[in-house]
Amino acid sequence: MVSLVVVLYSYIQHRQTAEKAKRSMSLSAALSTVSMRSMRGGGTYDSNQWTESDERERRFDKDAPFFPASLIDRGQGAKNSGKLNRTFFAQLRALTRIMVPSLASREMLIIAMHTVFLVLRTWLSVVVAELDGKIVKHLVRGHGRKFLAGLLSWFAIAIPATYTNSMIKFLESKLALAFRTRLTQYVHDLYLNDHLSYYKMLTLDGRISNPDQFITTDIARFCNKLASFLSNLGKPTLDTIIFNIQLIRGVGFHGTVGMFAMYMATASLLRAWTPAFGKMAASHAKLEGEFRANHARVITNAEEIAFYRGEKREEEQLQFSLTNLLEHARSVAKRKISHVVLEDMVIKYTWSAFGYLVCALPFFLRPAIGGGGSSGIGGGGDDGGFRTQSFITNKRILVNLSDAGGRMMYSIKEVMELTGYTSRVYSLISTLHAMRRDEYEKPEQTDDDEQPKLPEFSLADIRGVRRGQHWMIAGPNGVGKTSVLRVLSGLWPAFAGTEIIYIPQRPYLSLLGRTDEELMEVLHAVHLAYLPSREGGLGARKEWKDVLSGGEKQRINLARLFYHLPRFAVLDECTSAVSADVEGLMYEHAKRLGVTLITISHRPALYKYHTTSLSIHSISEESHPETETTESWETDMASSGVLWDVVQLSTDAGTTDSSQSSSPPDLSPQLGNASELALALSTIAGHEIEQLRRLLEAKRAQAASLQARLAAVQQELDVVTL
């Protein structure tokens, strides 16, 4: 048996190593896929990477029918929430397809080994029960040698028994980790892919509010609970079957039937008295997720909170979420009191007392109760030693049987908690499948929250964007400038367009790198060639979002544009922290590389780098006067509340040299009204004020440095004087 276990364990380790290597290649392929998606314009990649991605997509398509949205829990008050019903079994079946993909999988092998050790432990329990009876019999009869031999046998059995118990716990942990690995990897593949599910789930759908809580905590709890449930239910089931067979041999059929009837009656009582632990577990996990999300929000927005002195408000939010969590925990603890009292009374005392009665009745009512087997009372006459052996053996079996029944009763509570975690994990995966199909579900709105329906709108309504035609999109805040770019970039559902790259307002800095030559060329283009020498070389690994200044982070963002060289580039206020001279040089460089620019900005100085202006206005604004341009076209979307104004700028605007004056040209024909002109002037004034402010700060810093040096010199003079 031990050699078989060693062979099986070695096979598991070999399979695990192979799985790790496979997952490592999958990660490399996934990174290449992300790079290919961003490049669009060139580069060579191994076709096997795309084959693996296609295999995942085919698997997702195959699994999608098992995750219908109709089985998702719609809230804490849902009828099917945390209950042992058909919905739970359908959800568990769908998740099992992911955790145990085939009968030849590593998880199935662990389950098989776990089952072998469960059977072995049950068999050892029967052997120990019979050995206890023999030891007591030899003690009563006074057989010293046999008594010592029995003790030695008892110690010998302790070795495989302890090893078996340890292996059961080890395989239970191993199974939980295997389940979690499968589920987490599956969720990661669904969550972070070309379908942008990680973004759509939070912005376009309202079913999952804290996906990090689901992925990091709920999946782990579900896997641990399921693995322990298989152990806590599998062992008692085997014990019940085998111990009942042994009990029939010891106390007869009638006593066994009486014990079974008592078990069924008390189990029904406990089942009726058991609270909805599944619903409680789901609610507790939800409240913990909200509490964790509030703390994460404080960490993410720490600087803004400090500037606005918002710590009191954030403390109120944290205290509110903590109060809800603690109140729910107290409520659960109170509801568990009566259940635990009844459970202990039934399992620990009622069953034990009834077991003593069943074991003793054959000795007092021998003529009335028959069926005693070879180990019962029928073959021993009035031998006190044999009676003692029979009683001790049957008592030990009954104790083990009561323990098995007790663990089965305890497992009812675990099953109810398992239903809650199953519902949450299923909801996450089902929602991710819905994101792949572009099926979204927002929370129901009240009458006060109703918004006017917008008509269908296509960018073709503004005559399309041709390559080499650089667009400048302007307009006040809140009219939908960035919304247009979200559709262009695929963050919102779109149905066409591939050769494009999107640069958002806030820079994103990853931990990955490229070759030194490629990086240096790009850094020269964005005027950051000094960065490697300042930060310790291209191989330096730092938290770049904290090391780089705002302008440097935005220039790193633009470096990706020059590296990938897409046909079209959508720039959303991506140079707001860059100086005007460097900004102009980068725009000119992008145009020389043949990149068509679509820019969202409030800076009039950028008009000279574009050939077309698209102004988006609120319908409530004053109507614009006729514009004196070579081409003008206007579409009034009254029902949507916006006004689209397309203006063809001068043809030589795109060839303006960066060495010319940085002041914007006369844009009065392109500006819709006086308010826009005032906005442009205020923007220019704000830019000048910002430059003066920076100069003043530099002078102040210089003065502070000189003052510190003067104080040091004065201190030295004082020392010399003394």
DSSP string, 317-372: HHHHHHHHHHHHHHHHHHHHHHHHHHHHIIIIIIHHHHHHHHHHHHHHSTTT----
pLDDT of the residue at 179: 94
**pLDDT tens digit sequence for 44-85:** 344 454 566 778 888 888 888 888 887 776 554 344 455 677
Give the closest residue to 596 by CA, choosing from 582, 612, 583. 612
Residue 246 belongs to some domain of the structure: yes
Q: Are residues 206 and 184 in the same domain?
A: yes
- Residue 260: phi and psi, rounded to 5, are -65, -40
Say whether both 612 and 622 belong to one domain: yes
Q: Are residues 662 and 682 in the same domain?
A: no
Give percent above pLDDT 70 in the chain: 60
Pair 615, 475: CB distance under 8 Å: yes
Interatomic CA distance for residues 139 and 162, integer angstroms: 26
310 in any annotated domain: yes
In angstroms, the CA 337 to CA 350 distance is 18
Regarding predicted confidence, which is higher, 42 or 272? 272
Distance CA 58, CA 52 (A): 10
642, pLDDT greater than 50: no
**What is the rounded end-to-end Cα distance, in angstroms, of the chain?**
90
pLDDT at 388 over 70: no
17 occurs within a structural domain: no
pLDDT at 175 over 80: yes
Contact 715, 512 (CB under 8 A): no
Residue-wise pLDDT tens digits, 142-151: 777 888 888 8
Q: Are 471 and 645 within 8 A, CB to CB?
A: no
Structure tokens at 633: 């076209």
Residue with tokens 């364990």: 9
Integer Cα distance of 284 and 420 in angstroms: 10
- Please state the rounded mean pLDDT for residues 327-331: 87
CA–CA dist 591, 67 (Å, integer): 48
Considering the domain architecture, whether residues 119 and 247 belong to the same structural domain is answered as: yes
678 shares a domain with 665: no
Task: Spell out the residues 6+ positions from residue 416 whose beta carbon is closer than 8 angstroms to its own.
Answer: 82, 84, 274, 276, 277, 278, 281
Flag whether pLDDT at 542 surpasses 60: yes
Residue 28 maps to a domain: no
CA distance 210 to 292: 9
Q: Are residues 397 and 467 in the same domain?
A: no
pLDDT at residue 98 in the model: 92
Q: Is 60 inside a domain boundary? A: yes
pLDDT for 15: 53
* Residue-wise burial string across 156-178, b where 16 or more C-beta atoms lie within 10 A, e elsewhere: eeeeebeebeebbeebbebbbbb
Q: What is the mean pLDDT of residues 239-266?
A: 69
Q: Give the confidence band of 364 by pLDDT, cuts at 50, 70, 90.
A: low
Cα–Cα nearest to 562, from 525, 600, 515: 525
User: Is 90 in contact with 365 (CB distance < 8 Å)?
Assistant: no
Read off the pLDDT of residues 555-590 as tens digits, 9 standing for 90 and up: 888 887 887 777 778 887 778 778 878 888 888 888
Q: What is the pLDDT of residue 299?
A: 82
For residue 544, the model assigns a pLDDT of 73
Residues 194 and 205 in one domain: yes
Residue 83 neighbours by CB distance under 10 Å: 17
Residue 547 confidence class, pLDDT cut points 50, 70, 90: confident
Q: Which two tokens stand for residue 551?
A: 């302008």
Shared domain for 389 and 504, answered yes or no, is no
Cβ(502)–Cβ(485) under 8 Å? Answer: yes
Contact 136, 392 (CB under 8 A): yes
684 in the same domain as 659: no
Compute how many other C-beta atoms are within 10 angstroms of the C-beta atom of residue 660.
10
- Statement to judge: residues 667 and 697 lie in one domain: no
Domain CATH code at residue 654: 3.40.50.300
For residue 238, the domain's CATH number is: 1.20.1560.10
Is residue 87 one of the residues assigned to a domain? yes
Handedness of CA 218, 220, 224, 229 (dihedral sign): positive
Q: Is 58 exposed, middle or buried (0-12, 13-18, 19+ CB in 10 A)?
A: exposed
Spatial CA neighbour of 247 closest among 417, 376, 78: 376
* Dist CA 298 CA 678 (whole Å): 37
**504: its two tokens:** 């958002």
684, 664 Cβ separation under 8 angstroms: yes
Find the domain containing 667 and state its range: 463-671
Tell whether 425 and 520 lie within a shared domain. Answer: no
Max Cα-Cα span within the chain:
122
Among 397, 420, 436, residue at a domain's last position: 436
Instruction: Give the chain's domain count.
Output: 3
Indicate whether 657 and 710 sit together in one domain. Answer: no
- Domain end (from 630, 645, 671): 671
Cα–Cα distance measured from residue 425 to residue 218, given in angstroms and rounded to the nearest whole number: 7
Does residue 70 lie in a domain region? yes
Please check whether residue 220 lies inside any domain of the structure. yes
